[in-house]
Structure 1
């Protein structure tokens, strides 16, 4: 059983579950973790089950029983849509509430998008179209999402978009009557300005005057489209404290910010319409759907709104991922913001509401970051690694008597390894991002039959090295120090199943919480011993996590195994 969130390690999972758990942890939330399950007497269908620890959520966090009940009610009410994760059922016992959901077999969309680069126009248009389809369906049923951001945009096994996480969803229309929402919620880079700037005289998390939640969703969709195109958000928060946002407002959207210069002019008009500061002037869904860029033809899009060429799209996306080993790991565009660090949008490491009020700190979400990543969850290993000789998908092959090699004197290239090892590793999609001219190996595309054969559901934030963990871990810690990421003194003291875990708890370039672990272990590939470093995100923006991963890889670049 996967370890439970802090404060709940002694609480067993419900014993009367109507399904069989078949995986370790595949994801975490503020108060929850997710595992795979299937029927008790059959191997399929495979679903995802979210376990929420009620004591931790209600007593130590800021979630209420009413909010949890509303999440289940609204998610169930939405029913089935091809671009929305479907709720399949729920239940509870004394300690846990569980929600059974459709499994997003393709993993995170934005884990597969290059930070500071984005994707091509066709792919951006494809996924934006599917996002609008999902939001349109929700709004037609009177439900607003209120937390549209990359963390909540997943993929099916075929590569289609799936909108997830309805913990902040709200009913804005019922029986034809519109109601305004007052709860302050969302992530600052994606939240609408009317929510941030609203007057809060009674409570820091409630506005005196309500906002139209469906119109706020439009703003968030506009920011997501921006990120798809350039791999970064236009600002860290929509307030005049942000220099980027301030210039955007003062120039009526004609900003000189370099990120905007990367966007084709025909798309800029759409984004400006969605990012109108005045909610009443903001584009409606009908105006978005009739915009010339939205109605353009797309080779990846079928008439029914599903993916037309999954292999081609996945190949294009994988070949767009590239890590430049000659770059400065500190030169990321995420560092461009000059917004003062000590202000009302800063991350508070203590998430109790009493501290929020005492420090006049505004937490951006009713499901804030929690110490969940303090616990090393028993994460499911990437299944593709099971093809390597001597490696189990659940238990790494550790050679404790392995002779310690000397530090490398030259960059380790795949071509220096025995041909059988080269043949196995050439089928690993994660290696493609380390090539000088990114391309997808023919051995991978020729055998591919579906989207996930090219772009797997597990994170591509991973690298291999011929160095042993003993020599590699100090280099990783040094790279973290150069990036300004705090490393706990005892971070590498504990091992589980031959793996060392380095906890990462930081504030990203947009001053949002970014938490997870770097997992260092040994694998055997056709008899060759290699170290594997996995970057396991527990919470935070997947684009920022990818940016962090790139910074560490460049920092230890000379020891990373590369094709060539």
Structure 2
């Protein structure tokens, strides 16, 4: 891996922090990274610290000190709300600005939703209700988010929604007076059309005539609801360059797109109201809240707006994560772009084919080629019977024939028992459902659906066998990946781990970046390899789709339930 450029995230972190860092990276942007921390001399509470590299942000990210200060001020101004990440404090030194925040212990919401499938109406309604609660509260404080998208929707340990990342937030109302915003910002699949179509005669990122940022938030919430329901966005971007959007406009929302055909008419009427092209006729939040579908009863939603059944909700969501090995990988327009400029997405973290967008503190693609420094899932970091401290133990199943991959039922019973408690194993079962033994001891949402990503699998094959196989799968999918020499593969086998850096354009032409990490894990004294797909930036659903496609390419080496 190439070393990070000067001034990037490997600059030494501040030494005089009023808390103790207790993790490696758990989240990352182009010049911001997130780690866990606890108070000095105490194990709790665990909080999240966002570190913004000032030199990198100002020089490469085109951010100003005023913009970072505004993010902190607006986040603090919001105060406490159930569905918004709480800002706990901030500070800086010569190299870094840091923001201390409430930790979203449940991880990413959209990492737990099946790509191209979505969730059922009840779960979609539950999370949409909480999103509207968060946005409505923000608007009551005069603040618009301006970057509502799956990446910024997190979860608490109980499975309640937490809206995050206020790097693009703006004050649209002060002292009762409304003001328009002029900055072009947001993510193309979720951005409102009036931002894209506005005239820009002076600067590419500034509109001549401003827009109402709170009304743009309503549009973005509508797109998020669509994604919750079907597992995909309705279009790449709200311009006539997108065939799907073009048909939506020309038919007055009565599109023939098969994704829309899946939706009940009551939901479609709500979506059409939120996705009105003319912002003057678009639903207000009050109109959303009084819509018949929004006011429907929901067993998951308590009277206080919280998750009324955390274990039941998590179990239902986990049962919907399923990989069908009988299907081929998708390489359609909703799969991966194979355009010549797929790698050029990195040239501007918020660039799209028709939109020049301003970057925030968590843009789409990392600029810095930082070494892999991500926190390992706690299940592997420390667990009875699983040891990451025995990296040189060779897997028992060393046969170089793919057909040799056993089923879980062929493993020792103690290993079967251990793996049956791993939630990520259920996605490879061809029978829907979650084992009762897995859920009966659960007390909260995170006991069933942990914060770490489900984008992982276990294989008994040697690391030296898996590396070429994964590289070939990436090649088949049109995903650029660095070549590996035989010597590098031998070194990886010796050390027991390797990281393959992947940078691509997703099916919506947005930057999607991360690592495919292979690490040895030991179960009952027997060595296996865990393959983790660690997203650095980009849409969580697109990353889930990428993971599924790779698994379908290498399916015969994946350890599966019987």
Normalised-by-shorter TM-score class: over 0.9
Residue 165 of structure 2 corresponds to 165
Residue 380 of structure 2 corresponds to 385
CA 1:118–1:223 in structure 2 vs 1: closer, same or farther (change >3 Å)? same
Measure the CA separation in 2 of the matches of 1:9 and 1:47. Answer: 20
Q: Which runs of 4+ in 1 moved over 4 A?
A: 3-6, 340-343, 386-390, 400-403, 490-497
Q: Deviations over 1:450-504 (max 9, x none)?
A: 1001000000000001101111111111110010001122596675963100001
Measure the CA separation in 2 of the matches of 1:99 and 1:315. Answer: 33
Residue 513 of structure 2 corresponds to 515
Provide TM-score, normalisation by structure 1: 0.94
When structure 1 is superposed on structure 2, of 430-439 and 292-301 the one drifting more is 430-439
Q: Deviations over 1:374-430 (max 9, x none)?
A: 2233111111235655534xx453125557433232553111111111000000000
Q: Deviations over 1:181-232 (max 9, x none)?
A: 0000000000000001111111110011000000000000000000000000
CA 1:142–1:208 in structure 2 vs 1: closer, same or farther (change >3 Å)? same
How much has 1:179 moved relative to structure 2?
0.5
CA 1:397–1:372 in structure 2 vs 1: closer, same or farther (change >3 Å)? farther
How much has 1:364 moved relative to structure 2?
2.9
- Structure 2 residue ranges without an equivalent (≥5): none
Is the partner of 1:334 in helix, strand or coil?
coil
Residue 420 of structure 2 corresponds to 426
Measure the CA separation in 2 of the matches of 1:288 and 1:346. Answer: 39
How much has 1:372 moved relative to structure 2?
4.1
Residue 350 of structure 1 corresponds to 347
Residue 544 of structure 1 corresponds to 542
CA 1:299–1:139 in structure 2 vs 1: closer, same or farther (change >3 Å)? same
Is the partner of 2:346 in helix, strand or coil?
coil
Measure the CA separation in 2 of the matches of 1:57 and 1:447. Answer: 45
How much has 1:42 moved relative to structure 2?
1.0
Measure the CA separation in 1 of the matches of 2:14 and 2:335. Answer: 45
How much has 1:371 moved relative to structure 2?
3.8
Checking the alignment, whether the CA contact within 8 Å between 1:391 and 1:397 is kept in structure 2 is no
CA 1:396–1:274 in structure 2 vs 1: closer, same or farther (change >3 Å)? farther
CA 1:562–1:336 in structure 2 vs 1: closer, same or farther (change >3 Å)? closer
Q: Deviations over 1:90-138 (max 9, x none)?
A: 0000000000000000000000000000000000000000000000000
Measure the CA separation in 2 of the matches of 1:498 and 1:55. Answer: 35
CA 1:351–1:490 in structure 2 vs 1: closer, same or farther (change >3 Å)? farther
How much has 1:8 moved relative to structure 2?
3.1
CA 1:10–1:551 in structure 2 vs 1: closer, same or farther (change >3 Å)? closer
Measure the CA separation in 2 of the matches of 1:27 and 1:9. Answer: 12
Residue 349 of structure 2 corresponds to residue 363 of structure 1:
no
Is the partner of 2:22 in helix, strand or coil?
strand
- Structure 1 residue ranges without an equivalent (≥5): none
Residue 405 of structure 2 corresponds to residue 408 of structure 1:
no
Checking the alignment, whether the CA contact within 8 Å between 1:414 and 1:422 is kept in structure 2 is yes
Checking the alignment, whether the CA contact within 8 Å between 2:223 and 2:234 is kept in structure 1 is yes
How much has 1:336 moved relative to structure 2?
9.6
How much has 1:62 moved relative to structure 2?
1.7
Residue 533 of structure 2 corresponds to 535
Residue 21 of structure 1 corresponds to 21
Is the partner of 1:374 in helix, strand or coil?
coil
Checking the alignment, whether the CA contact within 8 Å between 2:511 and 2:537 is kept in structure 1 is yes
Measure the CA separation in 2 of the matches of 1:180 and 1:112. Answer: 36
Measure the CA separation in 2 of the matches of 1:441 and 1:46. Answer: 30
Is the partner of 1:447 in helix, strand or coil?
coil
Residue 93 of structure 1 corresponds to 93
How much has 1:274 moved relative to structure 2?
0.2
Which residue of the other structure, out of 394, 397, 401, is the alignment partner of 2:390? 397
Residue 459 of structure 2 corresponds to residue 462 of structure 1:
no
CA 1:497–1:161 in structure 2 vs 1: closer, same or farther (change >3 Å)? farther
When structure 1 is superposed on structure 2, of 276-285 and 321-330 the one drifting more is 321-330
Which residue of the other structure, out of 443, 448, 457, is the alignment partner of 1:449? 443
Superposed CA RMSD in Å reads 2.3
